[in-house]
Amino acid sequence: FSDKEKRNSFIEALQFVVSRHDVLRTCIKSEGLPTPVQVVLREVTLYVEEISLDDSKDILSQLKLLTTSGSQWMDISRAPLLELKSAEDVKNDCYYLMINQHHLILDHVGLEKVISEVTMYLSGDIENLPVPVLYRDFIGHTLHSQSINDSES
């Protein structure tokens, strides 16, 4: 981002989208349970971790090191399954936001939906957003489809 305010507006828009969609407020609880259970929280607040980097070195190169394959780990017992990290390159007027998402909540299609809704929010077009589909309705539809599916036929 070219300034902190634009980055903050993006985070606000992402929070709006997370609040709209059940799946983005999902976590998996397993401690003390015989099998893991998916939990959808009514509310979650995005937390942004501020990363301090060495400003005598290239900031973007340092950020790329943090995204190396195999270097990420996420606690799936805590919602949202999105991790936000911010860093600043004040010398070059660059304000970064790294977003790490767990594949349990977002795939390619879901990510496109999130981007679309963030864009609509930022453009002031939220009145044209469709009513979000409740995750429980999606699960109900999936379970019903499985129950009537005659896979042998």
Identity of the residue numbered 22: D
User: How high is the pLDDT of residue 151?
Assistant: 59
The topology under which CATH files domain 4-148 is Chloramphenicol Acetyltransferase (3.30.559)
User: How high is the pLDDT of residue 72?
Assistant: 82
User: How high is the pLDDT of residue 153?
Assistant: 53
Whole-Å CA distances, 62 to 2, 65, 98, 104:
19, 5, 12, 27
User: How high is the pLDDT of residue 140?
Assistant: 78
Q: At what angle do helices 108-122 and 4-20 cross, to 10 degrees?
A: 120
Q: What is the mean pLDDT of each run of 10 residues along the chain (153 residues)?
A: 96 97 94 94 96 90 86 91 94 93 91 96 94 77 77 56
User: How high is the pLDDT of residue 117?
Assistant: 97
Q: Where are the domains of the chain?
A: 4-148
pTM for this model (two decimals): 0.85
User: How high is the pLDDT of residue 152?
Assistant: 57
